[in-house]
Amino acid sequence: MIHQALLKGSLLGWTEYQTGHCNSVILISQLGLVALEPVLSDEDFSEQLARFAAAGVAPLTAAQRISWSQRISEAWVNPRLIADLPLDLQGTPFQLQVWQALLQIPRGQTRSYAQIAASIGKPRAIRAVGTACGANPIPFLVPCHRVLRSDGSLGGYAFGLKMKQQLLEREKAL
């Protein structure tokens, strides 16, 4: 569920987006993509819409919706395009470090939480890396699903282990 703190600031708006696995909601700011999160149920979607309305966040215009949907779809298919997609990642300095490290994991490969912690110079922050992965507002493009436990098991995933497994299998097939 999109964190309330992301609804503050200069958001342009929101729109629904089909990721191929499920319906999602995207939030866009003046600087870029703020969040892309799956809608797990109609009830979740209704709650999100109510929060958007309460925060004064309106739907994107048709032109904005088409433009952003196309850009995200292209980045989803071709991960090299993620670097060209303007992201407005909003988090703590630690979260931002972790999310930048996630962007370095090649498609079809995985890393452990311990490897991510070591890569950002905080080898003892393994659980904090897991927490940062769980707070990732752009989970399909900032690939927290590519992070596994040290023993190679899936670990956790905010949108369920079934979706994490599906994402990993899809990437290996590409």
Residues assigned a catalytic role: 144
One-letter amino acid identity for 164?
K
- Phi, psi (rounded to 5 degrees) for 31: -95, -20
Judge contact between 58 and 49, C-beta under 8 A.
Answer: no
How far apart CA 143 and CA 157 sit, in angstroms, is 11
DSSP letter for each residue of 17-48: EE-SSSEEEEEEESSSEEEEEE--SHHHHHHH
Closest CA to 146 of 117, 106, 174, 95: 106
Judge contact between 59 and 13, C-beta under 8 A.
Answer: yes
How far apart CA 8 and CA 10 sit, in angstroms, is 7
CA torsion sign for 80, 84, 87, 91 is: positive
Tokens 């990721």 belong to: 19
